[in-house]
Structure 1
Amino acid sequence: MLHYGDVEENAENPPIETLQEKIPVADIKGLLMGKDCPHMKENKGKQNKQDLDLAFSITYDVEEYSLNFIAPSRTDFCLWTDGLSVLLGREMSSEAMRSELEILLSMEIKLRLLDLENIPIPDSAPVVPKPPSNYNFCYDFSQTEQ
């Protein structure tokens, strides 16, 4: 279920009990982004480029209604649209996903290029040593050496 409702702009994580409306994820038919959103089509000419880039809509089964959103930031937009895409069984397509995938792939390539010949890699983690008897790791300068 996707729970939603009107919330004050500065409110953080409202309790689920306060969100009276809900949609079963199975009823979600589509995810529209940018100029394809119904609320962006209605305000044609009135919207600015930033709002257009952050707009997304969820269309659902109940008489083809839609929930319309404008994300507060590009990061939030990417998180929401990627998450909803995964729920709908589609590919994630945001630039944040592509950036993170590139980071992971470059790390994998770097690991594969490491010269690990004749270096045994253990199957289990090493044993953690016992903690020290005390944590007095400083030298006492108060006594003068004679």
Structure 2
Amino acid sequence: MLHYGDAEEDTGVPPIETLQKKIPVADIKGLLTGKDCPHMKENKGKQTKEQLDLAFSITYDVEDSLNFIAPSRTDFCLWTDGLSVLLGREMSSESMRSELEILLSMEIKLRLLDLENVQIPETAPVVPKPPSNYNFCYDLSQTEQ
């Protein structure tokens, strides 16, 4: 279920009990972004490019939709990727692509390491006891005799 309702902007996350309206995720028909959104078509020419880039709509009926403008590009990517996954679609945001690139580059670096015949333990090694003192420097003022 996707719970929604009106909330004040600076109140933080509202409790779920205050969000009386809800839509089953199975009833969501589509996810529209940018100028395809109904609220962007209605206000054509009145919105900025930034608003247009952050707009998305959830369609759940022939004529009904929930319309949003995300506060930031990161929030837009999180919402659209999350809804896409719930709808069984591919994630397509630039943040997903950059995070995937980071993971793939890490995998390549790990594969390039020479790990043949190296046994990787299943459990972490035991942490040794701390030293009796932390005086790790050598006193050079003392002359050796």
TM-score interval, normalised by the smaller of the two chains: 0.7 to 0.9
Residue equivalent to 1:68: 67
Residue equivalent to 2:54: 54
Residue equivalent to 2:26: 26
Counterpart Cα distance in 2 of 1:15 and 1:117: 53
Q: Could you tell me which runs of 5 or more consecutive residues in structure 2 were left unpaired when the two chains were aligned.
A: 137-145
- Pair 1:119-2:123 in alignment: no
Moved more, 14-23 or 109-118: 109-118
- Pair 1:36-2:57 in alignment: no
Q: Could you tell me which runs of 5 or more consecutive residues in structure 1 were left unpaired when the two chains were aligned.
A: 140-146
Q: Shift in Å at residue 117 of structure 1?
A: 3.0
- Pair 1:5-2:5 in alignment: yes
Q: Shift in Å at residue 129 of structure 1?
A: 4.0
Q: Shift in Å at residue 137 of structure 1?
A: 4.8
Residue equivalent to 1:14: 14
Match of 1:67, SS? strand
AA matched with 2:23: I
Aligned length: 136
Residue equivalent to 2:87: 88
**After the TM superposition, which segments of 4 or more aligned residues of structure 1 sit over 4 Å from their partners?**
136-139
- The root-mean-square deviation of aligned C-alpha atoms, in Å, is 1.9
Match of 1:96, SS? helix
Match of 2:82, SS? helix
